[in-house]
Chains A and B, each alone.
Chain A
C-alpha cells in the first residue's frame, strides 16, 4: 500500500478538464508545500510536471496545474489532449531523515 492515496484511474474527453487527487496525512502533504507530480508514459522516463504544489517547470504547458487543501493535493489537466494519456504519480516530502513518499499512481485515459 502506497503512502499517498490516488484514484487508480481517471478519464475525460479531449478538451475537457480532469482532476486527480492525492491524499496523505499531516505528516506529509498537510504539513509541507513540497508536493510534486510526475507524468509517466510506460517505457519512458517519468517527467516532472508540478513541484512545490503548484509550480510548473519550464516547458510544461499551463494546462497542467496543481493545488492543495489540507492533506489532499490535486493535479488538474485542462484542455485534455491524446498525449496526456499516461500514468500520473504524486510525491511529497515527509519530514527529515525521510526520502519522501509517493502515491500509487493514476492512469489517465483520454476517451
Chain B
C-alpha cells in the first residue's frame, strides 16, 4: 500500500527557515514524480512543484519559483519542501502528492499525504 506520511504541524515566525518532509513507502520511490500542493486558508489547491527523485528533474509553478525549494532523498524515500525566510502569507496547509505523469503531463494524483499545517505568525 502506497503511503505518504508528512511531518507535523509547524508554528514559525516571519523570517525563519523551515523544511517539511514527506516520507514515502509502499512503492519504488525513485520511479515516480512527487510534489507539493498548497491550500491557503479558505482557498483552493495549487501545485507548487514536482521532482523526479531519480533524475532530480524539477518543475516549479512559476508562482512559487524562487520562493521555495523542493528536494528529494532516494536513500530515505523522502521529499522535502524548504523555505529560507518565511512570510505570514506562507501560512497554509501543504500536501505531499504523487501524481501519474506521462510525457511531463500530470494525468492524475493517485496518492496524497495527510497534509502539514504551517502557521507563520509573529
Contacts and interface: CB of A to CB of B under 8 A. Distances in A.
Contact of B45 (A43, A44, A45, A91): A91
A102 B63 CA distance: 14
Interface of B: 4, 35, 43-47, 49-50, 59, 61, 95, 104-115
B105 A93 contact: yes
Contact of A45 (B49, B106, B114): B114
Decide if the interface of chain A is mainly helix, strand, loop or mixed.
loop
Contacts, number: 59
Nearest to B61: A99
B112 A46 contact: yes
Interface stretch (A9-17, A47-55, A67-75, A76-84): A47-55
Interface of A: 2, 34, 36, 38, 43-48, 51-52, 57, 89, 91, 93, 96-97, 99-100, 102-105
Given A2-B43, A51-B107, A105-B45, 10 more contacts: A34-B106, A36-B109, A48-B110, A57-B110, A91-B45, A93-B106, A99-B47, A100-B47, A102-B44, A104-B44
